Amino acid sequence: MAKKLINIIISTAIVLLCACFIASSSSDNFKIVKNLDIFFSVFRELNLLYVDDIDADKIVKSGIDGMLNELDPYTTFLPEEDSEEFDLATTGEYSGIGAIVGIQNSYIQIAETYKDFPADKAGLVSGDLILSIDNISLYEKTTTEASNLLKGEQGTTVNLQIVKLKTSDTVNVKLTREKIHISGIAHAGIMHNNIGYIALSSFTQSCQKDFKNVLRELEATKQMKSLIIDLRGNTGGWLEGAIDIAGMFVKKGTEIVHSRGRIKDFDYSYKTKEEPLELNIPIVVLVNGGSASSSEIVAGALQDLDRAVIVGTRTFGKGLVQTVRPVGYNSRIKLTTAKYYIPSGRCIQAHNFSERNEDGSVATIPDSLKKEFNTVHGRKVYDGGGIMPDIEVKTDEFSDIAISLVLRNLIAEFAIKYFAKHENIAEPENFKITDADYFDFIEFLSDKEYDYQTKVENLAEKLSEEIKNGKYNDNIKSQIDALKNQITHDKIKDLQTYKHEISQLIEEEIAGKYFYQQGRIRKILTDDRQLDAAIDILLNPNKYSEILNKQ
């Protein structure tokens, strides 16, 4: 009976869709109707005759995902069950207890708490284990399942059974859920030499309000003479937030970006609507390969308008605008509807998703096709490759062993053990682990799995496979085997070779346990080559002016 009902619904849908498109009998619409008819017919046959029962939701979503995979990665289907996660990314708000959870020994562990929200106010800390939520055991539950249990309507209560990290006591904790607002401002303050600093981690629907409040607080100190805006690792978000933030530093009515789409309704010029807060203060914007979308709009607009010096490395190169549209049953589709162009007229989109390489990979726009544009002062800038900084400052790549330790969560796990043993630490800027602490870390790793393959080992392995599959004599094979033995990494040696780098990562993680997210960032900034370059430029007015006026 259920299958017959589904088939009736499918048939009705086909008739309605055909009616919608037949009114306009163009060739394109005929192709749409034909292919929809085929799609529905295939699904009907599967539903009617396939040997096993099929999950209609799952198989249709797979079909939708397959269709969208032919386009760009930003066009995605958002089923009803993903709505809360999407809304959190968009608004920066949800209702819950204010904690991030992970997994430890098959139980859910608190990885981090947000300052001054229910979990933090109740004394829960990183490393506390959650045995149950409202009498539901969390043993072998996923982090998603646990997060869903912790979230709920604002004002409702939730009961947790907790094993405390520092005392090993099992306690019951009753929390009242609150509206959790995750500020887009990761850290802000006045640095030495009267330089303001604002790290913006995301463009949510309240980011411009958060940014304006912080900027006014820095202004109120009467100390800020220049400003660093840190957009490194900020993957973007709400377009209007980018317009408003850039508008705080340029004249009212200035165009920040305009969009152009296949449909004229998506052609729009975005201009600043309010009077600026800081029209003349010297500004440096920090960017890297993780700065994308709205971050690139802010950095690119301020560069094109010669309003700020851009420092760091080339940005990601996402010049596409997405629009969210309802598609029924509380589901939505986030689809690319336009490209955006910053004040010089350039689009910084670096990837051409409509033209793929032979292997199916996305083609990048070649230098030969990139066009030259000019800033307000006549400086040359280019399209098709992200935002190229005015001053390029590269950072060191992480070692293979450091990457392995981070990905396997071993540095975070050690930080929790350190946190359990030490009541407090120095301020993040002054905190350092000792040689004895690092020895403890090596001991901690003694029974842990964190193997990795270096780039050289990977190349040698590929060469060995090629020789094994080819017709080479035993002498060549033995030489390759000898080479592999020589370059095989020694984990204990690598722990000493990269001690400084690994120690920094440990210190950053520990600082976050005591001083929340801001503590981690404060520690990171103590050894930051790109930040140092930004400070150097702001302390040298002639150099700053020369960069912005150079043609």
Q: Alpha-carbon distance 146 to 110, whole Å?
A: 11
Query: Topology of 93-181 in CATH?
Result: Pdz3 Domain (2.30.42)
Q: What is the pLDDT of residue 396?
A: 87
Q: What is the pLDDT of residue 50?
A: 86
The token pair that represents 456 in the structure block: 């050289």
Beta strands at 309-312 and 283-287: parallel, antiparallel or unpaired: parallel
Nearest residue to 240 (alpha-carbon basis) of 196, 294, 199: 294
Q: Which strand (E) or helix (H) includes residue 161?
A: strand 157-163
Alpha-carbon separation of residue 162 from 77, 106, 118, 178, 244 (angstroms): 37, 14, 14, 20, 43
Helix (H, G, I), strand (E, B) or coil at 215: helix
Catalytic (active-site) positions: 293, 304, 318
Q: How would you class 457 by CB atoms within 10 Å of its CB: exposed for 0-12, middle for 13-18, buried for 19 or more?
A: middle
Q: Alpha-carbon distance 108 to 99, whole Å?
A: 12
Q: Alpha-carbon distance 248 to 258, whole Å?
A: 18
Query: Topology of 185-394 in CATH?
Result: 2-enoyl-CoA Hydratase; Chain A, domain 1 (3.90.226)
Tell me the pTM: 0.85
**Are 373 and 385 a contacting pair, CB within 8 Å?**
no
From edge to edge, which strands make up the β-sheet containing 226-230?
A: 185-191, 195-200, 226-230, 283-287, 309-312, 391-392
Beta strands at 283-287 and 226-230: parallel, antiparallel or unpaired: parallel
The token pair that represents 175 in the structure block: 């929390």
Question: How many CA atoms does the CB half-sphere of 275 hold within 13 Å?
Answer: 0
Q: What is the pLDDT of residue 331?
A: 87
Q: What is the pLDDT of residue 192?
A: 84
Question: What are the structural domain ranges in the chain?
Answer: 2-54, 93-181, 185-394, 400-452+490-533, 455-487
The token pair that represents 375 in the structure block: 């800033």
**Are 315 and 296 a contacting pair, CB within 8 Å?**
yes
Q: Alpha-carbon distance 58 to 43, whole Å?
A: 12
Alpha-carbon separation of residue 405 from 143, 150, 213, 432, 539 (angstroms): 21, 29, 38, 19, 38
Q: What is the pLDDT along the chain (551 residues), one digit of tens a residue?
A: 455 545 555 555 555 555 555 544 566 677 778 888 888 888 888 888 888 888 888 888 888 888 888 888 889 988 877 776 776 777 778 899 999 999 988 899 999 999 999 999 999 999 999 999 999 999 999 998 999 999 999 999 999 999 999 999 999 999 999 999 888 999 999 998 899 999 999 999 899 999 999 999 999 999 999 999 999 999 998 899 999 999 999 999 999 999 999 888 889 999 999 999 999 999 999 999 999 999 999 999 999 999 999 999 999 999 998 888 898 888 899 999 999 999 999 999 988 777 766 666 677 777 777 899 999 999 999 998 899 999 999 998 899 899 999 999 999 999 999 999 999 999 999 999 999 999 999 999 988 888 766 665 566 566 666 666 665 656 666 666 665 555 555 778 889 999 999 999 999 999 999 999 999 999 999 999 999 999 999 999 999 999 998 76
